A and B are shown apart, each in its own frame.
Chain A
Amino acid sequence: GEDVEQSLFLSVREGDSSVINCTYTDSSSTYLYWYKQEPGAGLQLLTYIFSNMDMKQDQRLTVLLNKKDKHLSLRIADTQTGDSAIYFCAETPPGGATNKLIFGTGTLLAVQP
């Protein structure tokens, strides 16, 4: 199957850590991505992880990949009000001559001051 699932909503207080979760179904996916969408705008690539990695850290962002459980997470440390947005995970399916990304449903992160 090609379903990528995310919870719809997450609310955190400013300064706390946020953890956004994603479950994907194709264990052969080569790359997995996290995108951020601010209101009324397009998507911006935040970070990505290759499928042979377990973890990737980039400043306040930590990506964890559990291939056995097909679970991807994005942790944002010291969450700020500017982090309020919709976050999408995405995967590149294998055999990708088409290079099509498959996107999750998106998680709305609300940061309370």
Chain B
Amino acid sequence: DGGITQSPKYLFRKEGQNVTLSCEQNLNHDAMYWYRQDPGQGLRLIYYSQIVNDFQKGDIAEGYSVSREKKESFPLTVTSAQKNPTAFYLCASTDRGRTVYGYTFGSGTRLTVV
């Protein structure tokens, strides 16, 4: 079955560490997105990519980095510059030509700073 896989489901980070969250899709979607979810704040866009080897900053990109070397993969690195990284992170994808069907989401990664 096609879908988006995020890993790990839970991740613990020490202060000052960089961590990378994985997002893989086998839907042949062009566009991929990373969102951060905090209680009562909905979803905030971190980075997005429309095609391979290209990506743009979203609303809260500071302290994060991404790469898009393959169509299927869009990993997110949470750097030590992100001052408050504890949150639920969601990856999504869509076919650029068929936005009417909305996004397909992964099941999320919960990151906690210890």
Contact = CB atoms under 8 A, between A and B. Distances in A.
> Do A and B come together as binding partners?
yes
Contacts of A50: 100
Contacts of A45: 101-104
Interface of B: 4, 6, 31, 33, 35, 40-43, 45, 48, 50, 56, 58, 90, 92, 94, 96, 99-108, 110
Given A45-B103, A103-B35, A105-B40, 16 more contacts: A4-B42, A40-B110, A41-B107, A41-B108, A42-B6, A42-B92, A42-B107, A43-B90, A48-B101, A48-B102, A50-B100, A92-B99, A99-B50, A99-B94, A106-B40, A106-B42
A100 B42 contact: no
Contacts of B42: 4, 88, 103-106
A44 B105 contact: yes
A73 B43 CA distance: 19
Contacts of B96: 99
Nearest to A35: B102
B99 A31 contact: yes
A71 B94 CA distance: 25
For the complex of A and B, 6 pairs with smallest distance between CB atoms: A42-B105, A105-B42, A103-B43, A43-B105, A99-B99, A45-B102
A80 B43 CA distance: 26
